[in-house]
Structure 1
């Protein structure tokens, strides 16, 4: 049934590309421009640097300032602390990629990997402050966006700890010397992942352009749908349609979820580690719901503050 569905979907997609080739061309061009002008400059240097740090077995140096906090509060090993930290700092899908690689290399256990996947894959502060914040309505403070994206990590981690029965901090595992990579290997590994990311961004940008052509959907529904298909295109669509707190709410929601483009990017980097993409989507849905609730709570609090 699953194979039959994807065969039908592939054939349908091919006919759409042939019938509406102009739309497909514009979508592909937009996606590749976005990949080349935004994603590669912001993500590739972090990815190469991260691979080099891991290859040199220098992760303990980077996580030293936050090691005790992450170890006690999130029950993470040293490699788990680095996975969590790199996922927050570098953005999609670095956290999931690092988690998958550390599982393959036996740096973290399968249980810690499953737990980490729920909390380690998020948009980077650079993306939030540079791209998402520029699309926010002027009435929505940037700090609300930051809190709504990152604060739900805490309750999600507590829920994931219960789900995966994490009762005590994970122990750091010994690292084999055979796992050390050369700089060229780290560079090629990073470039391979970037090509995968670029391919998914291009494909989902084409889908986004087809959605824009749907005449039976209202602009509001279309903008929200775009947001949950591809995060960057969706943020711009939401900012053009929604104003005030409504715009901030939907920008926060689509940013927290990351779009199905982000889901497929994540799936491409975890396929060999035995991690479940269904679990990942479920945790992302919970995170998005908490983001929406927190945004409503914070905006109401901001309105009440002047009268206190």
Structure 2
């Protein structure tokens, strides 16, 4: 593994040198995006979320939500804690808490692997403020995408409940360590820096992939299935990092944005993989679940747009609602195909 990392690091350094103008421009644009959009919009929400967590608000909310965990998701009521934290704090909080609870013996292996798929979600501060206001210029769009995001996660959890297994495990009480309220601001600063680091790093990776023609290749494949060009660019770029994909493509398609946010991209996947590997958890359900959530979120967003039409003055409405007849086939395919992964044995 170390040799592979060394080879990839050396190759990355060489590619950065070969495409230094594009890499430098991408890093600078990403830094400007973080400073002008992400930091101002997310910092106040991060502080409020940290205060909520430090005062035990998540545990209070999870006590009531715990009653629906077993009927809906076939997960014991303690699984409500990572679900609530994931919906409040965003990526990768849900996965982190799930792994910690599994290590503490509060969840079985099957429960933890399924729970990671629908508890690891984007937070409301990112979707409503950064995406809604920053990208679409309307917080109502952010609320609509967030509702679609949550609906996709819940549908994913309900679907994965059919793959629940009875396992004997000694259940122990998980104690969440609270930080002091005075740490809310410093922790928010570190969260912004951590997020900005990932955005800049994967923006550089994205610039290299564009220079090599890989992103254009992915766009052509998606366009062959009837996807709009700008939407294809968003999805192709967002595979690596969702923030870069959302803001660099210029696409204003709400269902596509909902799908991309629910899938998470390589940046979120690598963060989740590092925690899951330490706990010895498989990502079989996570991969299938995230692809399913993306399709479900896109379908939910399209349904909500029909019921609650949103007017955004910064772009033409046709840019939001424009679709191809093939998109319905692609959505059905996206919803059904990931389930195939669930029938393959774990080959870790």
TM-score normalised by the shorter chain: which range applies? Answer: 0.7 to 0.9
Unpaired runs of 5+ residues, structure 2, are: 220-228, 310-348
**Given that residues 66 and 78 in structure 2 are in contact (C-alpha distance below 8 angstroms), is that contact kept between their aligned partners in structure 1?**
no
**Given that residues 78 and 172 in structure 1 are in contact (C-alpha distance below 8 angstroms), is that contact kept between their aligned partners in structure 2?**
no
Partners of 1:45 and 1:11 lie apart in 2 by 38
How far residue 145 of structure 1 moved from its aligned partner, in angstroms, is 1.9
Q: Once the two structures are superposed, what CA deviation does each residue of 1:186-211 show, in whole Å capped at 9, x if it has no partner?
A: 99999998876555433212122334
TM-score (norm 1): 0.73
For the structure 1 residues 47 and 113, does the alpha-carbon distance in structure 2 shift closer, same or farther, using more than 3 Å as the test? Answer: farther
TM-score (norm 2): 0.66
Partners of 2:269 and 2:197 lie apart in 1 by 13
**Given that residues 114 and 160 in structure 2 are in contact (C-alpha distance below 8 angstroms), is that contact kept between their aligned partners in structure 1?**
yes
How far residue 77 of structure 1 moved from its aligned partner, in angstroms, is 3.5
For the structure 1 residues 206 and 133, does the alpha-carbon distance in structure 2 shift closer, same or farther, using more than 3 Å as the test? Answer: same
Q: Once the two structures are superposed, what CA deviation does each residue of 1:19-50 show, in whole Å capped at 9, x if it has no partner?
A: 12233334344555656773683686478658
Partner of residue 236 from structure 1, selected from 247, 252, 265: 247
Q: Secondary structure of the equivalent of 2:118?
A: coil
How far residue 269 of structure 1 moved from its aligned partner, in angstroms, is 3.1
How far residue 255 of structure 1 moved from its aligned partner, in angstroms, is 1.3
1:1-308 alignment, distance < 5 Å: 9-31=8-30, 38=38, 41=43, 45=47, 52=54, 60-134=59-133, 135-136=135-136, 141-165=141-165, 173-175=172-174, 199-211=197-209, 213=211, 217=216, 220=230, 221-238=232-249, 240=250, 242-243=251-252, 247-300=253-306
**Given that residues 94 and 119 in structure 2 are in contact (C-alpha distance below 8 angstroms), is that contact kept between their aligned partners in structure 1?**
yes
Q: Secondary structure of the equivalent of 2:202?
A: helix
Unpaired runs of 5+ residues, structure 1, are: 304-308
Tell which deviates more after alignment, 285-294 or 194-203: 194-203
For the structure 1 residues 298 and 230, does the alpha-carbon distance in structure 2 shift closer, same or farther, using more than 3 Å as the test? Answer: same
RMSD: 4.0
How far residue 85 of structure 1 moved from its aligned partner, in angstroms, is 0.5
For the structure 1 residues 131 and 107, does the alpha-carbon distance in structure 2 shift closer, same or farther, using more than 3 Å as the test? Answer: same
Tell which deviates more after alignment, 275-284 or 247-256: 275-284
Q: Once the two structures are superposed, what CA deviation does each residue of 1:48-71 show, in whole Å capped at 9, x if it has no partner?
A: 6587568xxx86434234333345
Partner of 1:306: none
How far residue 120 of structure 1 moved from its aligned partner, in angstroms, is 0.1
